[in-house]
Amino acid sequence: MKVVFHEDFYRAYTADPAAEEGRVEAVVEVIGPHVEFVDASPARIEDIEAVHTKDHIERVKRMGLHEIASLAAGGAIRAATIGLVEPCFGLIRPPGHHASSDSSWGFCYYNNMAIALEHLKNSGKIDTAFILDFDLHYGDGTVNILGGKNYVTIFNPQAHDRLSYMNEVMDEVDRCTADMIAVSAGFDNHIQDWGGTLATGDYQEMGRAVREASVRNRGGCFAVLEGGYNQRVLGHNVLALIKGLSGQ
């Protein structure tokens, strides 16, 4: 499976956990033998401005983070574009699902998912989209930007025990109908990460369900990295999702 990546994502651009040194390396080490890496390129300013206000973009520029955040957004666009024809994963950072149109928090700056889906929609490549955001934290930025747009359905699982959580996800994915199924893939709800709920195999099961739903809908699917901070397990969790999306 193709994985969108760029060596600049190795750079620790801030002191927050998402930018921690070694985090991306830990993923690449595990998934490298199993995937084909393709290069990310920065998002066009027009794509960023379709989602974020000029004031917000200027704030990100003043923080010195526009370059890396634009690269992450561009990586999400490429993953989504590849996802039209085959499953794809975007190994990108900074994450994005806490970035709203005019504000951001939670280690996020630009909303990678919103930028990618708006790009597809505005280019006439999709009519409908479904977002599964299984990050530990509610993707408020994505909801703030896309929640009022009638072409997108967003699902943030809320259950706190593993069985209920997985049942929620499977039920929702099984009945979704969309041209594109997109995953905000935060792995911080793993049993060895902050949330302490999900097993590594659960990510493979969710990925497989997403793949099967996209086939059923005759559409596409892709995922982009959000959270996940235990470097000992993050790569294995990403690989599990990739295997599921690949139909394994």
Q: Which positions are catalytic? A: 98
From CA 80, how far away is CA 27, in angstroms rounded?
20
CB neighbours of residue 161 within 10 Å? 9
**Residue 104: φ, ψ to 5°:** -160, 160
From the list 21, 14, 43, 13, the residue with the least C-alpha distance to 224 is 43
Contact between 211 and 78 under an 8 Å Cβ cutoff? The reply is no
| Angstrom distances, CA of residue 206 to CA of 5, 39, 78, 183 | 22, 26, 22, 10
In a 10 Å sphere around its CB, with 0-12 CB exposed, 13-18 middle and 19+ buried, how is residue 84 labelled?
middle
